[in-house]
Amino acid sequence: MMSQGFIDDDDDDDEPAMPRKKRPEEEMDITPMIDITFLLLIFFVVASKMDPTQTGKIPEATNGLAISAKDSAVIFIEPAGGDSPAILRRYDGSEFSKDEETATSEIVEYLTGELEKSIGTNKNQVMLLGDAEVKVSEVTRVQKIVGDAFQDLEFTYIAVKEQ
């Protein structure tokens, strides 16, 4: 008896499947692990902020030293608002230039003059007096100017105005 409607697919010209080569049990395929590592690396590079001017809040001091402004060369740092650089003022209230290069030379000139003034002895420290809203990057910028120009300076103090 002949069977009707059944087709035998076993007689086609299919190539026989090659058996997979077995690896020794000691070897481990680390390709998926490398893929995941690169995916995580790409995620963190794209998701992170690499902005060195990123603002941060200066933490409140729990205690500090009382430093006399008479014994220090004082620079006031006030927030300008937005992305504008901070306003820098001398002890007498006059502003430094808004141009960075000019402000740098003015700060060095001002501090040189202030440190040479004497009330019995020469001033040997600088005080950066800032507001709580001043960006950390601005304080760091002024501190770098002072540090680069006056490497033999004894102290640089950073003070935050109290409310």
* Residue 140 maps to a domain: yes
In DSSP notation, 44-87 reads HHHHS---TT---PPPPPS------GGGSEEEEEE--STTSPPE
The domain total for the chain is 1
Residue 41 forms part of a structural domain: no
pLDDT at position 8:
53
The whole-chain average pLDDT of the chain stands at 76
Taking only the tens place, the pLDDT of each residue in 23-51 is 666 778 899 999 999 999 999 988 887 66
Query: Domain for residue 85, yes or no?
Result: yes
Q: 0.75 cut: is pTM over it?
A: no
Domain presence at residue 99: yes
Which residues form the domain of 127? 73-160
Whole-angstrom distance, CA of residue 22 vs CA of residue 93? 82
pLDDT-wise least confident of 4-13, 90-99, 100-109, 121-130: 4-13
